[in-house]
């Protein structure tokens, strides 16, 4: 069932659900004016929301669109428009036919070390462009990294993004996925570019190990672990281990810089791949297979 309205701004035709993003439902739509498919994010409003809550949600949606629109990078999602319907903002962005990194890990198991480094380089480039524009993503997770059917790697969903000038959380709201929140943000509400790099490290750990470095049964146990314990032991990271370890330093000043992380990821991305094809779906309780891209996917990813 489609949302109301089924058309926006007299040009966007809503077609089908395309996923769930931070704070909203994402729809596949068609731009009749420019004759192209787009993705449109609908702000989710809790039932019986008061005027203050509605104003807050609208403000956050506008901030998301404005923040993402400042970033011009091939590995960052592109924002096209923001339109109003029924008193709510709808964010129009590029549609990327893809799977999320989370879906690939869940269906096929851990990724090849070299390809994981390639993903890291793409996301790092998008983050560097965001930080140059004064934007913090604050929600780098496998769910927000898209692996396009054409091989393109895209950092998406700026629903929790904020400006780098706002170093502390100024309002109540979602913090993000506990397993990928930087320790200083979990403990003190402190948001900095280094926090995005920590989340990148946790995402790369999940890609190569098949699970997050602080996977625990509950969010509270996860947060306690990431504040007080080292990451879970590495099993498959191999040459990528020093880079991930450097990104997962709890003390932000000791964390790898963008330049150091790029050097390490470049070295690992040049290693021979262990396979040339994605894995077939694996039965439960079997040893994890390792995802590796085709050579064409590798070429398109860079």
Which of 31, 139, 157, 196 is catalytic? The answer is 139
Counting Cβ atoms within 10 Å, is residue 245 exposed (0-12), middle (13-18) or buried (19+)? middle
In contact, 40 and 90? CB cutoff 8 Å? yes
Report the largest interatomic distance among the alpha carbons of the chain, rounded to a whole angstrom: 57
Known catalytic residue at 139: yes
> Can you give the length of the chain in residues?
302
Spatial distance between the Cα atoms of 165 and 161, rounded to a whole number of angstroms = 12
Q: Which CATH class is domain 98-301?
A: mainly alpha
Query: Where do the structural domains in the chain lie, given as residue ranges?
Result: 7-94, 98-301
Spatial distance between the Cα atoms of 193 and 96, rounded to a whole number of angstroms = 26
| Strand 24-31 to 79-85 pairing | unpaired
First to last CA, the chain: 39
In contact, 237 and 205? CB cutoff 8 Å? yes
Q: pLDDT 10s per residue in the chain (302 long)? A: 445 568 888 899 999 988 876 567 899 999 999 999 999 998 888 888 888 888 888 888 898 899 999 999 999 999 999 998 878 889 999 999 999 999 999 999 999 999 999 999 999 999 999 999 999 999 999 999 999 999 999 999 998 898 887 666 544 455 678 999 999 999 999 999 999 999 999 999 999 999 999 999 999 999 999 999 999 999 999 999 999 999 999 999 999 999 999 999 999 999 887 653 344 333 333 334 444 455 444 444 55
Question: Thinking of the domain 7-94, which architecture would CATH place it in?
Answer: 2-Layer Sandwich (3.30)
Task: Tell me the two tokens of residue 26.
Answer: 């994402």
Q: Which residue has the tokens 């398109």?
A: 300
């Amino acid at each position: 069932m489609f949302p109301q309205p089924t058309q926006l701004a007299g040009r966007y035709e809503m077609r089908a659900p395309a996923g769930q993003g931070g704070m909203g439902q994402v729809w596949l739509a068609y731009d009749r004016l420019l004759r192209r498919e787009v993705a449109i994010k609908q702000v989710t409003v809790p039932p019986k929301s008061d005027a203050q809550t509605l104003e807050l949600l609208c403000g956050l949606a506008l901030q998301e669109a404005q923040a993402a629109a400042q970033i011009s990078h091939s590995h960052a999602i592109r924002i096209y428009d923001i339109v109003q319907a029924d008193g709510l903002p709808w964010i129009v962005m590029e549609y990327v036919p893809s799977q999320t990194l989370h879906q690939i890990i869940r269906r096929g198991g851990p990724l090849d070390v070299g390809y994981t480094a390639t993903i890291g380089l793409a996301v790092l480039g998008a983050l560097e462009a965001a930080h140059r524009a004064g934007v913090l993503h604050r929600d780098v997770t496998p769910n927000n990294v898209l692996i396009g059917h054409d091989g393109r790697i895209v950092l998406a969903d700026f629903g929790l993004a904020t400006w780098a000038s706002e170093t502390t959380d100024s309002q109540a709201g979602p913090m993000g996925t506990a397993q990928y929140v930087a320790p200083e943000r979990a403990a003190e509400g402190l948001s900095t570019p280094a926090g995005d790099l920590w989340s990148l490290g946790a995402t790369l750990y999940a890609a190569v190990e098949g699970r997050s470095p602080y996977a625990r049964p509950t969010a509270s146990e996860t947060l306690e672990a990431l504040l007080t314990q080292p990451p879970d032991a590495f099993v498959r990271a191999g040459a990528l281990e020093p880079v991930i370890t450097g990104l997962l330093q709890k003390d932000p000043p000791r964390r790898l810089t963008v330049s150091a992380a790029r050097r390490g990821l470049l070295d690992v991305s040049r290693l021979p791949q262990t396979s040339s094809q994605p894995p077939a779906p694996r039965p439960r309780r079997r040893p994890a297979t390792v995802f590796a891209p085709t050579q064409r996917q590798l070429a398109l990813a860079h």
